[in-house]
Structure 1
Amino acid sequence: MDKLNQEQREALAAEGDVLVVACPGSGKTHTLIHKIAAELSQVTSHREFVVALTYTHIAAEEIRDRIEAMGVDISQLWVGTIHSFCFTWILRPYSIYHENLRDGFSVVDTFESEELLKEIAKRHPPLRSQYDCKYHATDRGFSPDRGIPSANIIAVQSSIAEYHERLLEQKKIDFEMMLKFAHDLIIEHRPIAKRLSKLFRVIAIDEYQDTRDIQYSIISRIIREKECKTKLFIVGDPNQAIFGSLGGVARTADEISALIGRPVKQLTLKNNYRSSQHIVDYFSHFAVNPLQIQATGQHRERHGDLVHDTTIDKSGLVQAISQLIRHNVEVLGIPPEQICIVAPWWIHLASITRSLVQALPEYDFNGPGLSPFAENRDNFWYKVARLALTDSAPDLFRQRIRWAREVLDELAKAGHVHDLSPRDFLKVTNGIQVRASRGTEYLAEYFDNLSRSFNLAIRPDSELSIQRQGFFDRTSNRIARIHKEESINVDDIETFRAVFRPRTGIVISTIHGVKGAEFDSVIAFGLLEGLVPHFGEPAHKKLDSAKKLMFVIGSRARLNLYLISETGRGRPGYPRYQSNVLRSLATYDYSSRSIVDPSLR
């Protein structure tokens, strides 16, 4: 515990159920990891587990890697998303007790799910695609996401009902059905919660502000079990609760206490080790839940650029951002990978990326929007692709061992059992030779060679075969869309490999996608009413929503923050103006009011 400050030590030493409200850059993940490691050291039985719930698979991998790097035995650690938790601990072992699962089920591939929903949506006017009928699970059923026009609600509900009916006919479920059915099981069959309450030493929850009520309900059902000794250790920041449209809500300590039937102690982490006090003071203006944040890191006394420009027209964005990038790299000495360009919607980023690539050929740009792979991490062949596209380098060894273990587990579930350790599996896969230079051809040949190496007789109608087709369909569609929209060909092996390399180049991301990251310099544009906040937000939530989005943007920056509320957006006669939450700071003492200020050239 010698690397922990006093606040962090108090959080670790606290008895019982604990809620840690942590400001940005306060070492939240560091604290969480030490808590998990400390609990693992107290495990004395193979029937006792430490569980960590994360918002993303990437966060789960980071936690697992960092704990393992500490030399801690992680054999009794389970870490993953709430969906993975529901699948592993509730659905898979207890599916026989649910009428929709008792005859067997599989989790539908993301591509297949979207294609089915798109087909159904087109038959329910005025809906046009799967994006018009996004929804999420609740403890009462399924609810359209916030922001869907009220006139479309009936059509959305009809589409969702038909979509579920079609999936269940195929004995498949998607991620939202996974949550709902897990909730059904744990609420209606008490022995499930009773058994889990005896297995878990602690349940640690990261980014609790993005947790939905149905997820609180699932976890609290375990904790409320009589004689339950499972503790809760919850960390997060309610000021960064920007997933409200998906049902995310930051419950207070009193509210969580009422849910679990036990007192919850609230502690805070107020020391920001990331940003300068200059940046901290600025983003603190957007805090919905006020917290006195103190910059205590190495950059605390730095006074970098803090700019809000409302004069740039949309047509001049590329020139302005190009100028900023060059100023940061050539004048300020900021490495390109420490620069992030962020906007509210992907459509805005996609439209500007191609122009930046052309304007700045000397720089690399990195972002999910330029990746040939969509979010498809649960697809078996995506897991194989990670091994195919990474080198057997020492710094990747732990990660590749874990990936190999995941592939072997999936093969075992599919009935392809091999008496191989992950290490032996890697030896075989490392020896697979492929000559193709196109990314999709390379993976197809690699997958074929892998199947031959392990004598995998995969039937055309098997789940692995269906997942393979879905993987390539989705990848090919994404490649075609990027080529059409950005005039960039990403179907080459080097682009495919770059997806799994450490981050390089200038990062491009949405506000939601950048949460959890940090950079020396952040450039944000599209900070307009109707975007920040989203036009679909209810009137009574617009102000808080906009503040949280701006809080996330500002708190990503260590030294320099450039905000652009450009003109020229919107429909004819209905222009978009700067976000009201920024307009309220019109008199703020920025270091400059213009991106094109001579000092920034």
Structure 2
Amino acid sequence: MHELNSEQRAALDTKGDVLLVACPGSGKTRTLIQKIALELSKASSHRKFVVALTYTHVAAEEIRDRIDAMGIDTSQLWVGTIHSFCLTWILRPYSLYHESLRHGFGVVDIFESDEMLDEIASRHLPLKNHHDCKYYATRTGYEFDRSTSPDRIEPLKKTIAEYHEQLLSRSLIDFEMMLKFSHDLLVSHAPIARRLGALFQFIAIDEYQDTREIQYFIVGMIIRESMDRTGLFIVGDPNQAIFGSLGGVAKSAAEISLLTGRIIKPLALHQNYRSSQQIIDYFGHFAVEPMFIEASGEWKDWTSSIVHDVSISKTDLVKGVADLVRHNIETLRINPESIAVIAPWWIHLASITRALVQELPEYEFNGPGLSPFGQNLDNFWYKVARIALTFAAPDMFRKRMRWAQELVDELTASGYASDSLTARELLKITNEITSAGKNGTEFLINFFEEFCHRLGFEPQPGSELSEQRDSFFRRMENRISDIQKRENVDVDDLETFRKVFRPRRGVVVSTIHGVKGAEFDSVIAFGLLEGFVPHFNEPEAEKDHIAKKLLFVIGSRARKNLFLVSETGRGNQWHPKYQSNVLEAVHDHPYTSRSINLVTSSP
């Protein structure tokens, strides 16, 4: 508690339910973790649980790691995404009460889901593939990504309906069906929510601004039915609500009170311990919810480089970004791990990552295009691969134990292991496995075979584990082949595979959405053009509003320096892409310039 400032302490000490609006760099996660630790210390029974809902698996891992590092007993703690929560606490225990799930169900692998949507969408023009099929669950059904153009709505309805029909015929569900079915169970069987309300002593929600209506309702029903037995602590920042196209909404304390039937007390954190005051003043231009933010950290008086460059062409983009990376490392003396290269979409990054590796061989990069298989964190065999490709070292013990526990839970739930199997026993078994594979693929094939042999099971053909294994290798083979064709690089070697799960090193390359929650000394962002920031299909009336949130996230990631690039040459002669209107509007800001040559920095 001595590490917390007065605002953070107030958030912990306030009696009742809290909505904490936290500015960037305000110690939100630290406050959340301290609150979780406090509630764990109050757990009166082994039947009471503290639940922390995060937006991503990465955020869940961070919370687990930091709670573990505090030496606190976490046996009563459950941390995960809302989808994992629904699967663990609602669908698996109560599937018998849902018509579509009562005879058993599995969760479709993301890669297999994409394959199914690719095939179905290709028959419903003008749709092409799964990228055109973004949808999300609501309380009444399913809605489509707001960037979906009107001419695609009807084909998309048919595609999703056929997709759901195919899934259910195979007793499978995807993540959106997971939410919808969980909602339906809570609505039709109120005792489920009542039972969960009795189990949960406390529920914390991180990044509430990206929470969807159906997710608020699921948690709200549990809180309402708990009869004041379950506490609620919600944290986030409305200015960083960048998942609105997929239904994310930052509800007010009054709106959440209506859902839960409880008084929600609004509090705020205003002190930024991350950035210089110059950086804060700059990204403050993009705030859609006005909020006073004060620089209070080590770098508050740093003289920052804040540059908007409009001179780099698309053809020279790799060299331009490479020059910026080199400038930060060699001139500004920034550690490579503290530099991020950001773009609006993954498609902008896949090729540039390897191009940067070739342009700057003396430095390491961590980004898309470097992994031989996509991060399908919910695939069982991806979880096995994490253990297979890491070593039994002291600094990895807690993490590998958690991974092992996830495998034990899934094997037990699937009937492939007895309740007596422990995470420690499974980890001992995997540590003893040796694989003679010459390359990464052979290594994993052999490891998976021996894994099944040692544990005495073999996934039955057509079972969820069997299909996930096939999907895991198909996805990996496609990715390796694609990289080989596109860039003439062979990534099917064991060392490349092992690098995926090592602690991250080098310059981070990611999307705007991917770096939310992270922080860096220097941020380099490109592709800041109309049609990219925001997406060209966003509603016209909301485009500037959405662009501001995206630019707010970019700017607020930086501690010291911010380099923004609106490159020329995108689009075509009929429809060229120009710099973001919102970004252009702040060109006259005293800390910005149009040319990269004017960069200056001092400690």
Question: TM-score of the superposition, structure 2-length normalised?
Answer: 0.97
Partner Cα distance (1:466, 1:585) in 2 = 52
Partner Cα distance (2:161, 2:549) in 1 = 33
Check conservation: 1:346, 1:510, Cα contact below 8 A.
yes
Match of 2:577 in 1: 576
Query: 3-state DSSP class of the match of 2:363?
Result: coil
The alignment's C-alpha RMSD in Å is: 1.4
Match of 1:428 in 2: 429
Partner Cα distance (1:387, 1:598) in 2 = 45
Match of 1:521 in 2: 522
1:462 counterpart = 2:463: yes
Match of 2:245 in 1: 245
Match of 2:172 in 1: 172
Partner Cα distance (1:177, 1:201) in 2 = 27
Match of 1:198 in 2: 198
Check conservation: 2:353, 2:369, Cα contact below 8 A.
no
Partner Cα distance (1:598, 1:2) in 2 = 39
Check conservation: 1:568, 1:576, Cα contact below 8 A.
yes
Query: 3-state DSSP class of the match of 1:570?
Result: coil
Match of 1:276 in 2: 276
Match of 2:550 in 1: 549
Query: 3-state DSSP class of the match of 2:353?
Result: helix
Query: 3-state DSSP class of the match of 1:571?
Result: coil
Per-residue CA deviations over 1:287-310 (Å, capped at 9, x if unaligned) read 111111111111111112111111
Deviation at 1:205, TM superposition (A): 0.0
Check conservation: 2:354, 2:370, Cα contact below 8 A.
no
1:338 counterpart letter in structure 2:
S
Match of 1:102 in 2: 102
Deviation at 1:592, TM superposition (A): 3.7
Partner Cα distance (1:224, 1:335) in 2 = 49
Partner Cα distance (1:425, 1:247) in 2 = 40
Check conservation: 1:346, 1:369, Cα contact below 8 A.
no
The worse-fitting range, judged by mean Cα deviation, of 354-363 and 228-237 is: 354-363
Match of 1:87 in 2: 87
Structure-to-structure mapping, 1:177-576, within 5 angstroms: 177-225=177-225, 227-418=227-418, 419-576=420-577
Aligned-pair identity in percent equals 63
Check conservation: 1:320, 1:595, Cα contact below 8 A.
no
For structure 2, the residue ranges without an aligned partner over 5 or more in a row are none
Check conservation: 2:346, 2:368, Cα contact below 8 A.
no
Check conservation: 1:354, 1:488, Cα contact below 8 A.
no
Match of 1:125 in 2: 125
The worse-fitting range, judged by mean Cα deviation, of 446-455 and 381-390 is: 446-455
Partner Cα distance (2:436, 2:280) in 1 = 51
Query: 3-state DSSP class of the match of 1:20?
Result: strand
Partner Cα distance (2:152, 2:46) in 1 = 51
Deviation at 1:597, TM superposition (A): 4.2
The verdict on how the C-alpha distance between 1:589 and 1:488 changes in structure 2, with shifts beyond 3 A counting, is farther
The worse-fitting range, judged by mean Cα deviation, of 539-548 and 373-382 is: 373-382
The worse-fitting range, judged by mean Cα deviation, of 91-100 and 484-493 is: 484-493
Per-residue CA deviations over 1:200-225 (Å, capped at 9, x if unaligned) read 11110000001000001111111222
Deviation at 1:464, TM superposition (A): 1.7
Per-residue CA deviations over 1:33-55 (Å, capped at 9, x if unaligned) read 00001001011112211111000
Partner Cα distance (2:459, 2:98) in 1 = 29
Check conservation: 2:307, 2:599, Cα contact below 8 A.
no
The worse-fitting range, judged by mean Cα deviation, of 124-133 and 349-358 is: 349-358
Per-residue CA deviations over 1:259-318 (Å, capped at 9, x if unaligned) read 112211011111111111111111111111111111111111111211111122112212
Deviation at 1:488, TM superposition (A): 3.0
2:530 counterpart letter in structure 1:
E
Partner Cα distance (2:209, 2:105) in 1 = 31
Partner Cα distance (2:413, 2:314) in 1 = 52
Deviation at 1:350, TM superposition (A): 2.2
Deviation at 1:572, TM superposition (A): 2.1
Deviation at 1:591, TM superposition (A): 5.1
2:516 counterpart letter in structure 1:
K
Query: 3-state DSSP class of the match of 1:12?
Result: helix
Deviation at 1:226, TM superposition (A): 6.5
Partner Cα distance (2:338, 2:484) in 1 = 27
Check conservation: 2:305, 2:600, Cα contact below 8 A.
no
Partner Cα distance (1:374, 1:190) in 2 = 39
Partner Cα distance (1:423, 1:397) in 2 = 10
Deviation at 1:351, TM superposition (A): 3.3
The worse-fitting range, judged by mean Cα deviation, of 508-517 and 253-262 is: 253-262
Deviation at 1:71, TM superposition (A): 1.2
Query: 3-state DSSP class of the match of 1:429?
Result: helix
Check conservation: 1:52, 1:79, Cα contact below 8 A.
yes
The verdict on how the C-alpha distance between 1:296 and 1:424 changes in structure 2, with shifts beyond 3 A counting, is same
Deviation at 1:370, TM superposition (A): 2.2
Deviation at 1:437, TM superposition (A): 3.8
Partner Cα distance (2:226, 2:206) in 1 = 25
Query: 3-state DSSP class of the match of 1:38?
Result: helix
Check conservation: 2:55, 2:207, Cα contact below 8 A.
yes
* Count of residues in correspondence between the two structures: 600
The worse-fitting range, judged by mean Cα deviation, of 267-276 and 224-233 is: 224-233
Deviation at 1:460, TM superposition (A): 2.8
Deviation at 1:128, TM superposition (A): 1.1
Check conservation: 2:106, 2:172, Cα contact below 8 A.
yes
The verdict on how the C-alpha distance between 1:437 and 1:277 changes in structure 2, with shifts beyond 3 A counting, is farther
The worse-fitting range, judged by mean Cα deviation, of 92-101 and 202-211 is: 92-101
Partner Cα distance (2:197, 2:444) in 1 = 43
Query: 3-state DSSP class of the match of 1:87?
Result: helix
Query: 3-state DSSP class of the match of 1:368?
Result: coil
Per-residue CA deviations over 1:105-155 (Å, capped at 9, x if unaligned) read 111111111111111111111111111111110111011111111001000
Check conservation: 1:383, 1:407, Cα contact below 8 A.
yes
2:547 counterpart letter in structure 1:
A
Partner Cα distance (2:74, 2:115) in 1 = 38
Partner Cα distance (1:502, 1:354) in 2 = 19
The verdict on how the C-alpha distance between 1:155 and 1:551 changes in structure 2, with shifts beyond 3 A counting, is same
Deviation at 1:486, TM superposition (A): 3.5
Partner Cα distance (2:278, 2:226) in 1 = 50
Per-residue CA deviations over 1:435-463 (Å, capped at 9, x if unaligned) read 32421111111111212222223333332
1:421 counterpart letter in structure 2:
T
Query: 3-state DSSP class of the match of 1:558?
Result: strand
2:110 counterpart letter in structure 1:
T
Partner Cα distance (1:339, 1:254) in 2 = 39
